[in-house]
Amino acid sequence: MKSKLLLILLILISMLIACSTDTTVEQQVNPFDSSGLLAQKNNTFAVHTIGSTVIHPNDLTKAKIKKVIDSVSNQSSLENFKEQHPSIEITQEPAFLVFDTNKLVHTSYSYEDLLAFLQK
């Protein structure tokens, strides 16, 4: 009888411990996750331009770049970009930003520098 009571007590204690243990894992929040700036596929890059210089995907194809471009977007106003993405420091336009799936990997203020980065 004592062994059954001890077994029941042990099971109840185990259940209480299991239920009270915090099983949530905190994840580090990436500030770019919801920004729409990141590349969507692994081993690809997203290119964003800010200012009057507009880049089309065909422009990059003609430049014989080696990196795989997932997306290309253009924003005409530096002020609007700063409002939408205050954590990214851009000092002038045109600006060219390159993101992988996690972070900003390259910032440039000249198209030639952007192409040099993408051709590496």
User: 120 exposed, middle or buried (CB, 10 Å; 0-12, 13-18, 19+)?
Assistant: exposed
The arithmetic mean of pLDDT across residues 44-70, rounded, is: 87
pLDDT at residue 116, rounded to an integer: 92
For the chain, give percent helix, strand, coil, nearest 5: 35, 20, 45
Number of Cβ within 10 Å of residue 76's Cβ equals 13
| Beta-bridge mates of residue 107 | 97
Least confident range of 7-21, 28-42, 50-64, 81-95: 7-21
Residue with tokens 């990997």: 105
Tell me which of 3.40.30.10, 3.90.76.10, 3.40.50.200, 1.10.1040.10 is the CATH number of domain 45-119.
3.40.30.10
Which residue has better confidence, 7 or 60?
60
Which residue has better confidence, 100 or 32?
100
Q: Which of 38, 39, 54 is nearest to 94 (CA)?
A: 54
Q: Is the pLDDT of residue 1 over 80?
A: no
Q: What residue spans define the domains of the chain? A: 45-119
CA 50 to chain CA centroid, nearest Å: 18
